[in-house]
Structure 1
Amino acid sequence: MTEMPSLTGHRALPLLDSDVLRTFVTIAESGSFTRAAQQVFRTPSALSMQIKRLEETLGQTLFIREARQVRLTPEGEVLLGYGRRLLKLNEEAVTQFLAPSLEGRVSLGTTDDVGTRILPGVLARFARSHPAVHVDVVVGNSATMLQRLDAGELDLILITAGNPGQESRGEIVHSEPLVWVGREGGVAVQRSPLPVALAHQGCAWRSMALDALDNAGIAYRIAYTCEHSAGQEAAMLADLVVSPYPRSLIRAPLRRIEQDQLPPLGDYQIALVKRSDLSETGDALSGYVVDAFGERHH
């Protein structure tokens, strides 16, 4: 922890040391001084001294120490958010100057759901660290993305896992509940047969929704079939239909339909699939994609 001299003569605020922040974040994520010490190759007592000085500097208790674990105080939780962001920014700054310069093109395919929502942040962050790389983004359904990857046209793809007839491939990077959604105050959910908007055949959301309705004995009609979630969203906004939708994408005036009105759908997952001969540039981009999904869970 260092204190910067002030040109005005006033006592300046202390600077948070990256090494101490890394220790703090590691303890918070592992829930143990002992496990954290093993990860950063120091003794638990050395880590304890670092945290004690950090708590004195900030004038706050950061951890509640219990018999078998430590957990964060409310102040510690606030610092954890700042700590992660500061370490990430530090990594970006160092990478800018020290990482080998990557060049060339990389092509990324994604389906039209959660993947498209994380891409702006991913691409902006990647461009800051690797300005000489050109990224081509293609949006389509999972089956098309897999075909294009296998044909060598795409380097890495984000697809919905578990689509009917689709083999299990890649790394699961995101999982969340699929829920029934309609317009706030709308009447579509009260109609019989139930009007639903779905993607085309071969989509996991479609099969999950139809299986749930069939098993619950609910009469329905497929009022709209649309490849893109924006089309389903438009039909819901017009209060013409209800639709299966990822919980994280719900925005007013859309709302989640109460669970006692329609049957549960379960979770859906997104997988990241890479070509076998992925370049160093493509591998770097895949790391940013995985990190972005990880941040959604914090």
Structure 2
Amino acid sequence: MTRSPVPNVSNVQPLLDTDVLRSFVAIAEYGSFTRAAKAVFRTPSALSMQIKRLETTLDQSLFVREARRVQLTAHGELLLRYARRLLQLNAEAVACFLTPALEGTVRIGTPDDVGTRVLPQVLSGFAASHPAVQVDVMAGVSRVMLERLDAGEIDLALVTAGSRDVDPERGEVVATEPLVWVARADGTARLREPLPVALAEHGCAWRASAVDALDRAGRPYRVAYSSEHSAGQRAAVQADLAVAPLPRSLATSPLLEIVDDPKLPALADTHILLVTGARRSEAAQTLTQHVVDAFRALRG
């Protein structure tokens, strides 16, 4: 009788734990142990221990820890590509054998700046955990999104609001950001009189905040450029046609800079408000909670 050879245990390669890989990817994407810990519902010390064990297993350093953030080493960047593929394969394998508990279609409305900056990252996590739910996204100005919500055309909406427009009974504030004056870095628009400004259309919280601040300060201005989308405002500023009131995170182009000028009045904070319809399916309720949790993790 021929016996099968006994495997040499010493030559067996270690298996990578998907839970540890999920923590590793979160740290790489957030650039912070603290923010990643909130996203994966663990403590920073627990994540630190996981990464130490992972580095020991692979015999490589994966992160460079700096004062305010952590960055991947060359080996960390290599592992990140493998980790994302392994996690995706794991999710696909589980989805093939387990009947999804949640199905249906959810329709969400959002302004274009939220839809391009924040929402894709939020929805990617939801799609991984609930692959059978179809999410349809409609982009447009906040006023129109609220009208569609009231008409039952969408299930929930992320809208922008000024401090005076926030109604806690209407929705939940999921993000707050300073509104700042933005100009071309080497431009002269900020020096012109009356001040040329690029504004969103009527009904936008950014526009209302800017007009109210300029009027109260008695600063002469003219609307040199009006656009339904924030991309239009940024284009006008980059062309040095005007200055614009924008959330701080949108002043990221090398051509743009935040204006620190006492002649320009301070602006109120801008908020992202999550508003839900009166009748929500189980899928819509689950997505609503996922959006709240995702924004809470981003704030961390």
Q: Structure 2-normalised TM-score?
A: 0.67
Give the CA deviation at 1:203: 1.9
Query: Does the CA contact (< 8 Å) of 2:103 and 2:283 recur in 1?
Result: yes
Query: Does the CA contact (< 8 Å) of 1:226 and 1:232 recur in 2?
Result: yes
Give the CA deviation at 1:266: 2.7
- Paired residues for 1:91-102 under 5 Å: 96=95, 100-102=100-102
Distance 1:216 1:143 in 2: 27
Give the CA deviation at 1:121: 2.2
Query: Does the CA contact (< 8 Å) of 2:122 and 2:294 recur in 1?
Result: yes
The question of 1:282 aligning with 2:284 is answered: yes
Identity among equivalent pairs (%) = 54
Could you tell me which residue of structure 2 aligns to residue 266 of structure 1? Answer: 268
Change (3 A) 1:11 1:241: farther
User: How many corresponding residue pairs?
Assistant: 270
Distance 1:116 1:260 in 2: 30
SS at match of 2:242: coil
Distance 2:12 2:250 in 1: 43
Could you tell me which residue of structure 2 aligns to residue 297 of structure 1? Answer: 299
Could you tell me which residue of structure 2 aligns to residue 144 of structure 1? Answer: 144
Change (3 A) 1:238 1:21: closer
Give the CA deviation at 1:131: 2.7
Could you tell me which residue of structure 1 aligns to residue 177 of structure 2? Answer: 176
Give the CA deviation at 1:293: 2.3
Change (3 A) 1:203 1:8: farther
Query: Does the CA contact (< 8 Å) of 1:164 and 1:202 recur in 2?
Result: no
Query: Does the CA contact (< 8 Å) of 2:162 and 2:209 recur in 1?
Result: no
Q: Render the CA deviation track for 1:42-82: whole Å, top value 9, x for unaligned.
A: xxxxxxx99x999x999xxxxxxxxxxxxxx9699789xxx
Change (3 A) 1:95 1:183: farther
- Paired residues for 1:231-246 under 5 Å: 231-246=232-247
Query: Does the CA contact (< 8 Å) of 2:100 and 2:131 recur in 1?
Result: no
Q: Render the CA deviation track for 1:2-41: whole Å, top value 9, x for unaligned.
A: xxxxx9998999889799999xx9xx86xxxxxxxxx99x
Change (3 A) 1:163 1:53: closer
Could you tell me which residue of structure 2 aligns to residue 106 of structure 1? Answer: 106
Could you tell me which residue of structure 2 aligns to residue 134 of structure 1? Answer: 134
Structure 2 unaligned blocks of 5 or more: 1-6, 27-32, 35-41, 44-48, 59-64, 73-82
Q: Render the CA deviation track for 1:221-243: whole Å, top value 9, x for unaligned.
A: 11112111111111111110100
CA RMSD of aligned residues (A): 4.6
Could you tell me which residue of structure 2 aligns to residue 220 of structure 1? Answer: 221
Give the CA deviation at 1:249: 1.7
SS at match of 1:113: helix
Query: Does the CA contact (< 8 Å) of 2:95 and 2:131 recur in 1?
Result: no
Distance 2:258 2:70 in 1: 32
Residue 196 of structure 1 aligns with an amino acid whose one-letter code is V
Residue 154 of structure 2 aligns with an amino acid whose one-letter code is L
Could you tell me which residue of structure 1 aligns to residue 197 of structure 2? Answer: 196
Residue 116 of structure 1 aligns with an amino acid whose one-letter code is T
SS at match of 1:161: strand
Could you tell me which residue of structure 2 aligns to residue 123 of structure 1? Answer: 123
Query: Does the CA contact (< 8 Å) of 2:237 and 2:256 recur in 1?
Result: no
Query: Does the CA contact (< 8 Å) of 1:196 and 1:221 recur in 2?
Result: yes
Which stretch shows the higher mean deviation, 134-143 or 148-157? 134-143
Which stretch shows the higher mean deviation, 13-22 or 158-167? 13-22
SS at match of 1:292: helix
Distance 1:218 1:15 in 2: 65
Query: Does the CA contact (< 8 Å) of 1:96 and 1:129 recur in 2?
Result: no
